């Protein structure tokens, strides 16, 4: 089935972008490889016709994407390219072009930047400052602080690898593994990756589970600190 839409986000250097369509609640990912015989590079504001195919995580990806002004859609224009009609078209062509450019510029301006909620970043900073102070005051072992830092870095780079795999249509890291890394202490690295890399930050179902992993991870960290403090007192 074919759908109509328009490009609302396009990264020309990396060859991928997103389409907005009234037929879908979320924006639809597409890669330059899916664009059918383009006579030029896609850009924000372009109208497109496309089909969809679900990926391994059940998300709609656009395939067989056709730009409205690609050769396959421009055939009808060539038939009407007589001298008289060409003059008439010239008189009226500047205004629509200007409107399209303004529309594309406006789309870029409206595009939101996902920076995360203030609560999320407050929790992030309070968490690490509290751990550092506890370690300095001797209430938390430096080994625990080092472990959590390493796991957070590993989690961040795992998100980065998964994003790269998504762009290249390669084998993905499962969401279960990403959540597992958050549970064992990497939730802060996951938070940074979600907003710095813009990966998994728009998928509400994933985000809901992620915050559950944050709660579990904080509980486990608290238990580890209490156990360490109790062992020191017994000694």
pLDDT tens readout for residues 52-97? 988 877 788 888 888 886 444 444 444 445 455 454 444 544 445 4
The DSSP output letter for 198 is T
Per the CB < 8 A criterion, the answer to whether 194 and 209 are in contact is no
Q: Where are the domains of the chain?
A: 3-110, 118-234
pLDDT band at 29 (very low <50, low <70, confident <90, very high): very high
pLDDT at 180 over 70: yes
Structure tokens at 179: 């959540």
pLDDT at 179 over 80: yes
The continuous run of DSSP H or E covering 105 comes out as helix 83-110
Report pLDDT for 112: 47
pLDDT at 100 over 80: no
> Which of 198, 169, 180, 200 lies closest to 56, judged by CA?
169
Distance separating alpha carbons of residues 45 and 107, to the nearest angstrom: 7
Report pLDDT for 173: 93
Structure tokens at 103: 């529309």
pLDDT at 203 over 50: yes
pTM for this entry: 0.53
Instruction: Compute how many other C-beta atoms are within 10 angstroms of the C-beta atom of residue 93.
Output: 11
pLDDT band at 214 (very low <50, low <70, confident <90, very high): very high
Neighbour-count burial for 209-219, b at 16+ CB within 10 Å, e otherwise? ebeebbeebee
Which CATH architecture is the domain 3-110 placed in? Beta Barrel (2.40)
């Amino acid at each position: 089935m074919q759908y109509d839409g328009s490009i609302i986000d396009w990264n020309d250097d990396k060859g991928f972008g997103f389409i907005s369509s009234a037929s879908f609640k979320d924006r639809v990912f597409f890669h330059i490889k899916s664009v059918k015989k383009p006579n030029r590079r896609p850009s924000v504001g372009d109208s497109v016709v496309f089909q969809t195919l679900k990926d391994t995580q059940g998300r709609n990806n656009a395939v067989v994407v056709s730009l409205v002004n690609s050769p396959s859609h421009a055939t009808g224009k060539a038939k009407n390219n007589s001298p008289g009609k060409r003059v008439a078209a010239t008189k009226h062509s500047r205004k629509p072009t200007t409107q399209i450019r303004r529309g594309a510029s406006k789309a870029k301006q409206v595009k939101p930047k996902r920076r995360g909620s203030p609560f999320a970043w407050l929790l992030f900073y309070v968490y690490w400052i509290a751990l550092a102070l506890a370690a300095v005051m001797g209430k938390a072992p430096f080994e625990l602080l080092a472990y959590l830092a390493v796991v957070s870095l590993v989690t961040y780079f795992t998100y980065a690898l998964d994003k790269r795999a998504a762009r290249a249509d390669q084998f993905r890291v499962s969401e279960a593994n990403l959540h597992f890394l958050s549970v064992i202490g990497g939730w802060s690295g996951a938070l940074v990756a979600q907003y710095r890399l813009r990966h998994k930050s728009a998928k509400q179902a994933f985000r809901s589970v992620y915050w559950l992993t944050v709660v579990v991870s904080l509980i486990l960290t608290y238990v580890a600190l209490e156990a360490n403090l109790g062992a020191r007192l017994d000694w």
